[in-house]
Structure 1
Amino acid sequence: MTAETIPIRVPAPGAARDVRAIKVVLHREMLRFVNDRTRLVTMLFQPVLWLFIMGTGLGTLVAGAIPGLDFRTFMYPGMIAMTVISTAMFSAGSIVWDREFGFLREMLVAPVSRGAIVLGKCLGGAIVATGQGVVILAMAGLVGVPYDPLLMVTLLAEMFLAAFTITAFGVTLAARMKNMQTFFGIMQMAIMPMIFLSGAMFPLANLPSWLHVLTTVNPLTYAVDPMRQAVFAHLDVAPQVNAMLNPGVSWFGWQVPIAVEAGLVAAAGLLLLGVAVAQFRRAD
C-alpha cells in the first residue's frame, strides 16, 4: 500500500503574507491584554497613586504660586505618559516570556518576514498601551481637564506615537535577553530616569543648566511636552502660570514646535524599529 501524500501549501512570499503575519501577532497581543485583567489594574495603580496622592500633596505646597490651577492638572499629561510607557515596556517584555516558553522560536521559524513579526509586536504593544492610557484619559474631569473632543483626539494620537516608540525600544532590549529578571532590571534602569527627566512631574522652566541639558537630550521629553501643551491650550490660565508650568522645550533659546517634537518621537520610533528588526534577523 502506498502512503498517501498530503500536500502542504505555503503562502507565496509577498506583502499579503507579511500583512497577515502582522495581523496575527497584533491579534495575539490584543487577546493577551484582554485576558490579563490583573496587569491592567496593576499598570494603572502607580500613575493613579502619583496623580491623586502625590499630586494632591505637592499641590498644597505650590498652591500660592499657581493661582487658579490645580497642580494635578499640570501632572496629568505626565501621568498619561507614565501609563503608556510602562504598559508599552511590559508588552515588549513578553518577548522574553515567549522565548523562555519556546513560542518565540515557533514564530521565528515561520515562513514570514521577521520584520513583520517585529512590526506586529510594536503595533500591538502601542495599541495595548494606548488602550490603557484611555482609562487615565477618562479621569480628565477629575483633575480639571476639559473633555474637549479635539483635545481627546490629540492626546490619543500623541499617546499612540509615544507608545509605539517605547514598544520598539523595549523590543530592541528584549531581542537578546534570556530571562525576565534581566529585562525588567534593565528596563527600570533605563525608563525611570527618562520619566523623571521628561518633565512629567516638574516644570521645565528655570531649571539649573545641567538639569536643563539632561531634559533636552531625553527622548521622552518630546513625548510628554506635546501632551502638556495640548492640555494647556484648552485651559484658561494666567500667562505667568502658563509660562511657569508650560514653557515648552527650547534649544539655545529657540522654542521647539510641537510638530518637530512629534517628528523626533516618530523618527526615534522608526529608527528603533529598524534596530529591533536587525536584532531579530540575527537571533537564533
Structure 2
Amino acid sequence: MTTDVVRVSVPRASGGHDLRAIKVVLHREMLRFANDRTRIVSSLVQPVLWLFVMGTGLGTLVRGSIPGVDFRTFMYPGMISMTVIMTAMFSAGSIVWDREFGFLREMLVAPVSRGAIVIGKCLGGAVVACLQGVIILALAGLVGVPYSPMLILTLLGEMFLAAFTITAFGVTLAARMRNMQSFFGVMQMAIMPMMFLSGAMFPLANLPSWLHVLTTVNPLTYAVDPMRRAVFGHLAVPPRVDAMLNPGVSWFGHRLSVPLELGLVAAIGAALLGVAVLQFRRTD
C-alpha cells in the first residue's frame, strides 16, 4: 500500500507580502475602531470634561492675569494630546487582547516579517488616534481657536507623529504582557505622570527648577508644545500673556524650535518602533 505524500509549500516572505500585511493590520484597526462606538464615546469623555469643566473652573481663577485669553484656549492643545495619546495606547493594548484569544499567534506564524505586523499596528493606532482627535478639532470654535485650514493641517500632522510614537511605546509595553489588567496598570503608571508633566494643563513658564527638569526630560512635552505654538500662532495674544502661556521648551536658556521638537518626537518614535520589533521577534 502506497501512501501519497502531499507537499505543502509556504511562500517566502517578501516586500510585497510585508506591505500587504501592513495594510491588513491597518485595515483591521480601522474596522475595530469603527465598530466600537462605546470606545469612541468613552475616550472623549475625559478630555471634554477637562476642557469644559476643569478649564472653565480654573479660568475663573486666572482670568485677571491673562487678559484677552480664555484659559480653555490654553488647555485646548493639551486636550488634543490627551485624546490622541489615550486612543493610541488603547490601540496598542489590543495586542494583549489578541494574545488572550489566540489571534496574535495566527499573525505571528504568517509568512511575513514581524516587523511588518508592528509597523501596521503602529500606523493603525496613529490613524485611529487622529480620527478621534478630529472630533476634538471640531470643538475648536467653542474655545476661541479659529478654524484655519493651515492650523488644522498642522495639528493633524503633529497629532499623527505623537500618536505613532505613543502607539510604538504601547506596543513595546504590550509585547510581553499576558493580560489586560497588567497592561492597563502599567499604562496608567506610565502615561498619567507623563501627561501631567507635559505642560498640557499648566504653563511651562516660571516653574520651580525641579519641575522644569521633569518637564524637560518628559518626551510628551515635545509633542504638546508644537501644538500649542501652532494654536497661539493663529491668535492675537498680548506679548506678556504669550510669554506666560506659550514660553516653549528651553534647554540651558535657549528655546527649542518646532522642527527640533518634532524631530525629537520622531527619533523617539523610531527608537521605540525598533524596540517593539525586537520584542516581537522574541515573542513565543
TM-score range, shorter chain: over 0.9
TM-score normalised by structure 2 residue count: 0.97
Deviation digits for residues 38-64 of structure 1 (CA, Å, limit 9, x no counterpart):
000000000000000000000000000
CA distance in 2, matches of 1:259, 1:4: 64
1:162 partner amino acid: A
* Contact 2:225/2:248, CA 8 A, preserved across alignment: yes
Q: In structure 1, the residue corresponding to 2:173 is in which secondary structure? A: helix
* Contact 2:12/2:111, CA 8 A, preserved across alignment: no
Q: CA deviation at 1:149?
A: 0.4
Q: CA deviation at 1:3?
A: 8.9
CA distance in 1, matches of 2:95, 2:6: 34
1:60 aligns with 2:56: no
Per the alignment, do residues 29 and 238 of structure 1 end up closer, same or farther by CA in structure 2, a change over 3 Å counting?
A: same
Match of 1:215 in 2: 215
Match of 2:264 in 1: 264
CA distance in 2, matches of 1:200, 1:11: 49
Q: CA deviation at 1:9?
A: 6.2
What does 1:1-284 correspond to in 2, within 5 Å?
A: 10-284=10-284
Any unmatched runs of 5+ in structure 1? none
* Contact 2:126/2:164, CA 8 A, preserved across alignment: yes
Q: CA deviation at 1:14?
A: 1.6
CA distance in 1, matches of 2:157, 2:4: 54
TM-score normalised by structure 1 residue count: 0.97
Q: CA deviation at 1:11?
A: 3.9
CA distance in 2, matches of 1:182, 1:268: 24
Measured on the aligned residues, the alpha-carbon RMSD in Å equals 1.4
* Contact 2:168/2:269, CA 8 A, preserved across alignment: yes
CA distance in 1, matches of 2:29, 2:4: 38
CA distance in 1, matches of 2:25, 2:246: 39
Q: CA deviation at 1:5?
A: 8.1
Count of residue pairs the alignment pairs up: 284
Q: In structure 2, the residue corresponding to 1:171 is in which secondary structure? A: helix
1:267 partner amino acid: A
CA distance in 2, matches of 1:267, 1:179: 30
* Contact 2:169/2:273, CA 8 A, preserved across alignment: yes
Q: In structure 1, the residue corresponding to 2:234 is in which secondary structure? A: coil
Deviation digits for residues 141-196 of structure 1 (CA, Å, limit 9, x no counterpart):
00000000000000000000000000000000000000000000000000000000
2:147 partner amino acid: Y
Q: In structure 2, the residue corresponding to 1:22 is in which secondary structure? A: helix
Q: In structure 2, the residue corresponding to 1:126 is in which secondary structure? A: helix
Per the alignment, do residues 137 and 3 of structure 1 end up closer, same or farther by CA in structure 2, a change over 3 Å counting?
A: farther
CA distance in 2, matches of 1:196, 1:274: 27
In percent, how many aligned pairs have the same letter? 79
CA distance in 2, matches of 1:118, 1:156: 22
CA distance in 2, matches of 1:117, 1:155: 27
Q: CA deviation at 1:216?
A: 0.2
Q: In structure 2, the residue corresponding to 1:198 is in which secondary structure? A: coil
1:83 partner amino acid: T
